[in-house]
Chain A
Amino acid sequence: MEHLNLLYPEFALGSLALGLLVSDLFVAPKHGRLLYHLAWIISIVTLCLIGFTISDGAHFQGVGTLWAVDPFSQFFKMLILLTTVLSLLMGLEYRELPSKHAGIFTSLLLMASAGMMFLVSSTDLLLTFIALELISISSFILTGFERRNPKSNEGALKYFLFGAFSSAIMAYGISLFYGATGSTRLLNVTQAPGPLMILGLLFILLGLGFKASIAPMHFWVPDAYEGAPTPVTAYLSVAPKIATIAALMRIFTLMLPASMLDLTSLFTLLAALTMTIGNFTAMFQTNVKRLLAYSSVAQAGYMLIGLVAAGTSGGDVRGIEGVLLYSFIYVAMNIGAFVVVQAVATEAAAAGAKDPYGLEAFNGLARRSFGLALALTFCLLSLAGIPPLAGFIGKLYIFESAVKTGHIGLAVVGLVNSVVSVYFYMRIAYHMFFKQADSAEPIALGPYLYGGLAVAIAGVIIFGIYPEPLIASVQSSAGFLP
């Protein structure tokens, strides 16, 4: 256990999360908001701790431990914490949440984040597994946090059953890998991969793919996302996804490079399948949460393109950078979309709508609050990859890396999928702009939602028009350490 000190941000976050759990005993439910504030401040402090290390080479090392602390992992850790902060801000405005078990909720959220931070650093399958379990178990509970909402229970149960199953398979895969190589370390794997090891790796891929909602391991996504409280949905649709994709990248492109085991065609297939299934299923959704759930499946597919490009033998660093860039932008645009969805649904529920997350709840939003409708439209267009928004830059970067490494077919599939996605993203816009509203009341937007939305929209627009600083920081963060 060398260099344990390098993980101090994770330890800080984990122990403060435990502190929140305990403090739940002493804080009255009506002061629950206090714990939320505490939690997001903790996240920001941790973010800063990582931020300080990122420019300092002395903080990076990997060899000889279970984990690697390198620019790549630090970048993802910051993204995860950013998502955590934004989700907590959303939670503050979510009616069902702050008053009930605030300490448990916030501590679970921070635990999950800590798990993701371990995950993106992990270079040992054992640590990967433990981190994944930490994420999973926290997420199961978070999904079912609205105890009186049957959908929440249903989603949590499905998520749990699928999740437990995939964890078991992954554990089995790890044992096979151990059997083949005699170690759970990914470092210094020198054996030529035999059938045992390949089977083990495929099982590991399956377990990770489940978390990243890669088709065909995505069936839990719509139900869990629909049932979960909206801030949790926002969190789940972003943080675990990018963290697992980072882990996939570390394992399958860096630790086991294509020269050793070439899984490019498998990943190509998965990427194409994930995009296509996500987009084509999203077309038929009438519930915005489910729609965004399928859209997030599709988004994972786009990120996989970058993974394919990075993993191709002779592939270049552009694929890695593309995934980093896209993850960053994805945080902004997806959280932005969920913020507006939450604001609208809260209002709709107050007005007694049958399905507050139905597309009908968005009817005439442009007339009620033009700014809010415009903000959501920007997020959706960015998700669809329409310039001059940030999502376009991300897609361009990823498609560029795909074309460069010769995956033209995959790029074509991705581009066609972008066109398809416009159809359902614009269906929300259709309800917002073309339909008549039932009421003319503007939608109330609380200060924290407002803040979160402002951050997200600023990211979507500014990095669309002037992405250079972001790309520069991504390029400096694409460095792996073994």
Chain B
Amino acid sequence: MNILSLITFIPVAGALVILCLPKEAEKPIQITALIASGLSFVFSLFVLYAFDRTTPLMQFTERFSWIPSMDIQYALGVDGLSFPLVLLTTFVTVLAIIGSFGIKERIKEYFFWFLILEAGMIGVFEAQDLVLFYVFWEITLVPMYFLIGIWGGPKKEFAAIKFFLYTLSGSVFMLLAILAVYFNTNPHTFYLPDLMAANANWSPRFQILVFLGFYFGFAIKIPAFPFHTWLPLAHVEAPTAVSVILAAVLLKMGVYGLMRISYGMLPLGFHWFLKPLIVIATINIVYGALCAMAQTDMKKMVAYSSVNHMGYCLLGIAGVTATGFQGAVMQMITHGIITGSLFLLVGVIYDRAHTRDISAFGGLAVRVPVYAALMFLACFASLGLPGLAGFISEFFCFLGSFQAWKIYAAISVLGVLATAAFFLRMMEKVFLGPFNNKWAGLSDINARELCSILPLTVMTVALGIYPKWALDIMNTTLVHMANMFK
């Protein structure tokens, strides 16, 4: 059974069903979307159950010739690096779809694009052929463009086209790099495992050039400094559920590509770039945190905190140790979960108050205790409080890179301080202090919102207390990867 294809294309099937439903049939559309994403999630749980944690190899592989005359294959597979991300994607998408039930207008189009987006994201993490990877990578752009541009905030059109053009300009260089590696292997192939085996024949100069091509595409997606400028805009203008997806999954595509392709396929290029990478990681951490601190808009603050958190991922990767890699992958998962819930929570208050200005609130904890508790938990997790999910991944990132990059790790720790500072400041201004009577009519979080947020909160605590089960999935692969070029 081709279970990975099922996971990937069930959302597409759902999208086609939605396309056939009349646009007035709002309930059926919502339910179809939920079922499609839910099925996809259930199948990924099957994979989780059957997943062999003791092998670093690709599992559940599917491979057949897609376009033989261009040597393009349809090849899917998951290992300890990609499977956690697939699981994260299907999980978060279900919750984001539940969170989107509050969308009132143009429901049909919304869920259509959302499901197409899901298929693209899952495919990126599974693809084992570079052209297939590129196809999935690009598929995510168009739905995102429409999701931001139609249902977004006041500057949505600009945010949408900026996102589209920015990421596209990165990915065309990736395409060029893909073609370059294709012509420099014998026999010509786009199949990733074959390319990984062939890289010994590539000259350092070639690897560096190709690395830069790929890096350009990935760095924009991550987003790594100085290519991060599209992110705050897109995040702020996007509707809540789309921000969740953007932060929880889309950014991970860049980090994943860096680990899978740049590191795995171009070791010389990667090692050449280590120094700049660690500098960029440090800048991301410190600069992202400082920017977050300067924000008055809660959503923008969370957006910049993503820049900061992606910096930890880069830090972990730059360590090139098994621990660092574990930290990076773990950070991707925990950031997806925590920032996902943060965006959902910010969306909850925005739906009620129609403002996200930090200083407009005050003392809300009295009025909306459940909401405040959830928010506190998410913020603490995000700033890395021990016992919650964020801590363990950040710790691993530091641990993994400390040996190789003592000074940079030390500077990055400052970023942790700044992160704590801006989250605490936000919590204080919004939830503590004297109650702002303007918000006396504010209602607490409702059942639907709870449905979409609570699973994330539970995961945050669970991963914080017992991270081993998640680490077990990725461990073998990452240890193998770290030792691949030793």
The interface residues of chain A lying within 8 Å CB-to-CB of B182 are: 400
Q: A386-B141, A403-B180, A471-B70 given as contacts; is B173 within 8 A of A370 (CB)? A: no
Stretch at the interface among B161-169, B269-277, B280-288, B442-450: B161-169
Question: Does B173 lie within 8 Å of A423, measured CB to CB?
Answer: no
Question: Does B183 lie within 8 Å of A392, measured CB to CB?
Answer: no
CB distance from A429 to the nearest CB of B (A): 8
Stretch at the interface among A60-68, A214-222, A291-299, A412-420: A412-420
Q: A387-B139, A430-B149 given as contacts; is B67 within 8 A of A468 (CB)? A: yes
Contact of A387 among B108, B138, B161, B180 (CB under 8 A): B138
**How many pairs of residues, A versus B, come closer than 8 Å at their CB atoms?**
83
| 0/1 string, A395-415, CB within 8 A of B gives 1 | 011011001100010011001
Q: Does B45 contact A (CB under 8 A)?
A: no
Q: A366-B109, A422-B164, A430-B161 given as contacts; is B70 within 8 A of A400 (CB)? A: yes
Q: Does A381 contact B (CB under 8 A)?
A: yes
Question: Does B176 lie within 8 Å of A434, measured CB to CB?
Answer: no
The interface residues of chain A lying within 8 Å CB-to-CB of B134 are: 387
Q: Does A388 contact B (CB under 8 A)?
A: yes
Question: Does A386 lie within 8 Å of B165, measured CB to CB?
Answer: no
Q: A367-B106, A387-B134, A472-B69 given as contacts; is B165 within 8 A of A404 (CB)? A: no
CB distance from B420 to the nearest CB of A (A): 40
Q: Does A23 contact B (CB under 8 A)?
A: no
Contact of A418 among B109, B160, B172 (CB under 8 A): B172
State the CA gap A388–B182 with chains docked (Å).
Answer: 20
State the CA gap A54–B175 with chains docked (Å).
Answer: 35
Interface residues of A in 358-391 (CB under 8 A from B): 366-367, 370, 377, 381, 386-388
| 0/1 string, A420-452, CB within 8 A of B gives 1 | 001100100110011000000000000000000
The interface residues of chain A lying within 8 Å CB-to-CB of B175 are: 396, 399, 415
Interface residues of B in 128-185 (CB under 8 A from A): 131, 134-135, 138-139, 141-142, 145-146, 149-150, 156-157, 160-161, 164-165, 168-169, 172-173, 175-176, 179-180, 182-183
State the CA gap A410–B109 with chains docked (Å).
Answer: 38
Q: A403-B183, A411-B179, A426-B161 given as contacts; is B109 within 8 A of A370 (CB)? A: yes
CB distance from B17 to the nearest CB of A (A): 15
The number of residues on chain B lying at the interface, defined by a beta carbon within 8 Å of a beta carbon of chain A, is 36
Question: Does A386 lie within 8 Å of B138, measured CB to CB?
Answer: yes
Question: Does B164 lie within 8 Å of A370, measured CB to CB?
Answer: no
Question: Does A415 lie within 8 Å of B176, measured CB to CB?
Answer: yes
State the CA gap A243–B94 with chains docked (Å).
Answer: 51
Query: Which residue from chain A places its CB closest to the CB of B152 in the assembled complex?
Result: A434
Q: Does A475 contact B (CB under 8 A)?
A: yes
Contact of A468 among B23, B68, B150 (CB under 8 A): B68
Q: A386-B141, A426-B164 given as contacts; is B176 within 8 A of A403 (CB)? A: yes
Query: Which residue from chain B places its CB closest to the CB of A420 in the assembled complex?
Result: B165
Q: A430-B161, A433-B150 given as contacts; is B173 within 8 A of A471 (CB)? A: no
Interface centre among B23, B142, B183 (most CB of A within 10 A): B142
Q: Does A257 contact B (CB under 8 A)?
A: no
Q: A397-B70, A399-B175, A411-B179 given as contacts; is B168 within 8 A of A422 (CB)? A: yes
The interface residues of chain A lying within 8 Å CB-to-CB of B23 are: 370
CB distance from A305 to the nearest CB of B (A): 13
The interface residues of chain A lying within 8 Å CB-to-CB of B138 are: 386-387, 392
Question: Does B172 lie within 8 Å of A388, measured CB to CB?
Answer: no
The interface residues of chain B lying within 8 Å CB-to-CB of A392 are: 135, 138
State the CA gap A119–B423 with chains docked (Å).
Answer: 71
Contact of B179 among A381, A399, A433 (CB under 8 A): A399
State the CA gap A468–B65 with chains docked (Å).
Answer: 10
Q: Does A29 contact B (CB under 8 A)?
A: no
State the CA gap A388–B135 with chains docked (Å).
Answer: 6
Question: Does A471 lie within 8 Å of B172, measured CB to CB?
Answer: no
Question: Does B135 lie within 8 Å of A387, measured CB to CB?
Answer: yes
CB distance from B5 to the nearest CB of A (A): 13
Question: Does A475 lie within 8 Å of B108, measured CB to CB?
Answer: no
CB distance from A324 to the nearest CB of B (A): 13
8 closest pairs, A vs B, by CB? A415-B172, A387-B135, A403-B179, A471-B69, A419-B169, A387-B138, A419-B168, A434-B149
State the B residues within 8 Å of A (CB): 23, 66-70, 106, 108-109, 131, 134-135, 138-139, 141-142, 145-146, 149-150, 156-157, 160-161, 164-165, 168-169, 172-173, 175-176, 179-180, 182-183
